[in-house]
Structure 1
């Protein structure tokens, strides 16, 4: 079993695949296993851990993400998992067929109802000291034999080592996805990490910024300010990601995103996706402002600018502190266009290149000077009909800010 884990097991496609293969190996070795669960703690801004649940006869392992706060719930604290992770309990075994109600843990009653006869929970300790738990259940009369439990117990250190490696890779993916974006994270993990490396790509660019944020920062308590800012970014990032956009960075109260265009693909679909996202964001911001007013909090105004152009996408920065982002004249232009939103009293503005793709939905607002360019540029805004779409969009994400 240990040789298999260290040679073939560690090459499994992921934790679920490892668990499926590992449990099958136990059954081939004569262990009367009918269900197993691994509780693996993760380092993630939203997820405390993941439960991997295996059942004999099922096609695949079930994965259940456990959010932060789970560790405070009675059903977790009053469980073998909680007793081991939070209470430091050692391995525990319950011969269910010999127990009479009331059972010490609710899970034992569930397993009894399924015909289970034996239940074992074992700690899995990673090299960092982080505790995880593996549970094993049998439905054979008499349950597990001493030799079978010894086999599982002796293999646990090797299993924990392989599992930790897989969890760390999953952690790396989660952290990179969260902090640099899915596409950039994928590039970094594939080895694209040298400073100065990158590529030129064509994309729809999105830049949004809050208006009057400086004055809000001066007069609001920090907790209220962070709550407002998170609520605003939740709307903007949500509509962009829902339509295939990539969040590149948050710059104070601004957000830069792109909708990449594959080689040889016309921008039509992505331009319409970006415009739909902007219109939905306006609708959601109006709904959020009504909620903020009801709570006695300041309302928010934002400007969204969009453009189509070529950008350099890659690693930029100091030797020991890099940023995976986009640069180029197109990025500068979209940020300058956003600066006109307040001046023109418009929540959404686009460049001429963007508007050329969907003229029925946009109308010219004339030529205007922008910082850094000698020539004035023509900007466009959604038509009255397009803006009415935003007012009728279904509200999403309601609830107290923060």
Structure 2
């Protein structure tokens, strides 16, 4: 006896789904085609992530669209899938495993079904059968999502994608063009000597939130946290969503302006609590970098190296002597229509040619 289409798909193909959203949409489509009266579906996975506790994908039969809802670790536990499904019709759901962290699969019936408050017994039996067959592919999907979440948390999205694609050999990499951002706290060593360790960690986290939040908001990626320092890139991209030199530089400029605004706000909050401010410096440069794997044979690091990285680091070191929180190289200034304030040419330690230096127009 041949299996129904949905069950055959779960056995043969579902584990290879590109992601949970495609899994849920395809399974829902097949259930509809088999006559099950589903108006929507929800799939919840727990993920190992610093701030996200659970991810829920919501599918609507009427449109075929899937949206994602996030549950954050600091928020009270809630069931976003059940709440959303209840707005569509009677709800059926099942935990795929014994633990509260196992996948949760749910379906909504048709709201206008005459007199129905729940799925009919034969419909519920079929959904239970689907859930049993879904256990294996969902385990594979959950493992992939967990691996991706961990890699992205520690490497960043682009670097994680490279590692997952198999770019693991030491010395492998590619030359890319990118705007680079290097940021650092001023007088961090002195501050750390007079600040209780847990308070220092909290201060660093607040600072990194401002920097990384702005970088990610404008399409960049943090490559490194080194002590109190940050190295981030805004790559020039190719393909359907290509970003040219100017777009990368202007994205970096918008990010560094947002970082400065965020740090001003943070210092005001700290001042209200009787805490010392966190003066910082940030520099922007644009150029070619080698982005790839370096390190020991059994301990690799996915990072960026090259003269452009050296220059942006040296330029950031000029922030304190010049009394500026943001410095911008001539290479970035040439690739933006933004109004910048020139600060002349300056020699940078270890860099052969003097660097034309600018800052944001407002200071």
Shorter-chain TM-score bucket reads 0.7 to 0.9
1:40 aligns with 2:12: no
Kept in 1: contact 2:88–2:108 (CA 8 A): no
Whether 1:197 aligns to 2:168 is no
Deviation, 1:5, is 0.8
SS in 2 for 1:194: coil
Which of 268, 271, 282 is 1:304 aligned to? 282
- CA 1:241–1:29: 2 relative to 1, 3 Å: closer
Structure 1 position 274, deviation (Å): 2.2
Report the CA distance between 1:204 and its aligned residue: 1.9
- CA distance in 1 between counterparts of 2:344 and 2:186 reads 20
Measure, in 2, the Cα distance between the counterparts of 1:39 and 1:356: 47
Query: Which runs of no fewer than 5 residues in structure 1 stay unpaired?
Result: 82-106, 389-402
Q: From 317, 327, 335, give the equivalent of 1:349.
A: 327
Q: Secondary structure at the residue paired with 1:307?
A: strand
Q: Kindly tell me: are residues 259 and 366 of structure 1, through their superposed partners in 2, closer, same or farther at Cα, counting changes over 3 Å? A: same
Tell me which of 279, 293, 296 is aligned to 2:271.
293
Q: Of 375, 380, 383, which residue of structure 1 is paired with 2:357? A: 380
Q: What CA RMSD, in Å, does the superposition of the two structures yield over aligned residues? A: 3.2
* CA positional deviation for 1:344: 1.9
Aligned residues: 350
Give 2:300's aligned residue: 322
Q: 1:268 to 1:156 in 2, by over 3 A?
A: closer
The range that moved more, 48-57 or 233-242, is 48-57
Residues 176-187 of structure 1: pairs in structure 2 closer than 5 A: 176-187=151-162
Are the equivalent residues in 1 in contact too, given 2:294–2:302 (CA < 8 A)? yes
> 93, 104, 108: which is aligned to 1:133?
104
8 Å contact from structure 2 (residues 294, 303) kept in 1? yes
Quick one: distance in 2 between partners of 1:37 and 1:148?
17
User: For residue 93 of structure 2, what is the aligned residue in structure 1?
Assistant: 121
- Displacement after TM superposition at 1:124 (Å): 0.6
Aligned counterpart in structure 2 of residue 365 of structure 1, from 341, 344, 349: 344
Equivalent residue of 1:333, what SS? helix
Deviation at 1:197, TM superposition (A): 0.6
Normalization by structure 2: what TM-score?
0.84
- Please give the alpha-carbon distance, in whole angstroms, between the structure 1 residues aligned to 2:92 and 2:100: 21
2:89–2:108 contact (8 Å) kept in structure 1: no
Match of 2:3 in 1: none
SS of the equivalent of 1:372 reads coil
Q: Does the 8 Å CA contact 1:364/1:378 hold for their aligned counterparts?
A: no
Partners of 2:30 and 2:52 lie apart in 1 by 30
- Could you give the per-residue CA deviations for residues 100-119 of structure 1, whole angstroms, max 9, x where no partner exists? xxxxxxx69x95x8664xx4
The 1:29/1:291 distance shift into structure 2, 3 A limit, reads same
CA–CA distance in structure 2, aligned partners of residues 309 and 256 of structure 1: 14
CA drift at 1:351: 3.1
Distance in 2 of aligned mates of 1:114 and 1:243: 36
Larger Rg computed on CA atoms: 1
Q: TM-score scaled to structure 1, two decimals?
A: 0.76
Q: 1:47 to 1:310 in 2, by over 3 A?
A: same
C-alpha spacing 1:372/1:382, structure 2 compared with 1 (3 Å): closer
- 1:254 and 1:136, CA in 2 relative to 1: closer, same or farther beyond 3 A? same
Deviation at 1:53, TM superposition (A): 3.1
